[in-house]
Amino acid sequence: MPTTPKTYYNVLGVAHNATPQDIKKAYRRLAAEFHPDRHPDDPGFEARFREVGEAYEVLRDVRKRRRYDRQFEPIESVLGFFQLNTEAQSVLDLLREHAPVESQRGADVLMVVEVSSSILERGGMVSLTIPGKKESFLLRVPPGEILARLPHLGANGAKGGESGDLWIKLVQK
């Protein structure tokens, strides 16, 4: 018969999507139940008490919980494995130092801009400032248009690669 793997969620008896309040409530109940002072002659209770405390320390902290949860996500590539494992990450960093330099295109950026319904219906000019850049400019919006692509105004490329595109999505205020 297959056994359920022991996780911090199982230790506390809560679901994977448990709220911080659910986690705290389960911890308090189990800490009281397994407290060594209530069972001074049984070392098993002390071990269980420590296990409950360890699970709570990880699951109550948002960052620790997120890092803990990542180990249960499916690994879709070798790179995914290296990103989950800190020791493997060190090996990957060493390999990267000696890898050939290859330019990379910058990421596309999506910017959502609120405009009046009249601009969406009839078209018009919209003043924009690109995040991370100082200059602003006017964008001519054709009637009925809700998505615009501005080539090479997205994130900068790496190692000499071209910049990504800036996509502007217009939504009604």
The whole-number pLDDT of residue 83 equals 59
70-122: pLDDT as tens digits: 777 766 655 555 555 666 667 667 766 666 667 889 888 888 888 888 888 88
Q: CB-based burial of residue 26 (10 Å sphere; 0-12 exposed, 13-18 middle, 19+ buried)?
A: buried
Residue 2: pLDDT above 60?
no
Look at residue 85 in the predicted model and tell me its pLDDT: 61
Q: Do residues 48 and 70 lie in contact, with contact meaning Cβ atoms separated by under 8 Å?
A: no
Residue 108: its pLDDT value, please?
86
Q: What is the DSSP string of 99-156?
A: SPP--BPPPPEEEEEEE-HHHHHH-EEEEEE-TT-S-EEEEEE-TT--EEEETT-SSP
Domain extents for the chain? 8-96, 109-172
User: CA 97, 98, 101, 106 torsion: positive or negative?
Assistant: negative
8-96 and 109-172, same CATH topology: no
C-alpha to C-alpha distance for 74 and 64, rounded to whole angstroms? 19
Contacts 24+ apart (CB under 8 A), 114-119: 114/170, 114/171, 114/172, 114/173, 115/141, 115/170, 115/171, 115/172, 115/173, 116/172, 116/173, 117/172, 117/173, 119/170
Chosen CATH of 109-172 out of 2.60.40.2140, 1.20.1250.20, 2.60.260.20, 1.10.240.10: 2.60.260.20
Reported residue count of the chain is 173
pLDDT tops 90 at residue 172: no
Q: Which residues contact 149 (CB under 8 A, 6 or more apart)?
A: 165, 166, 167, 168
Q: What is the CATH number of domain 8-96?
A: 1.10.287.110
Contact 11, 51 (CB under 8 A): yes
pLDDT, residue 109, reads: 85
The per-residue pLDDT for range 5-60, each reduced to its tens digit, is 688 999 999 999 999 999 999 999 999 999 989 888 888 888 999 999 999 999 99
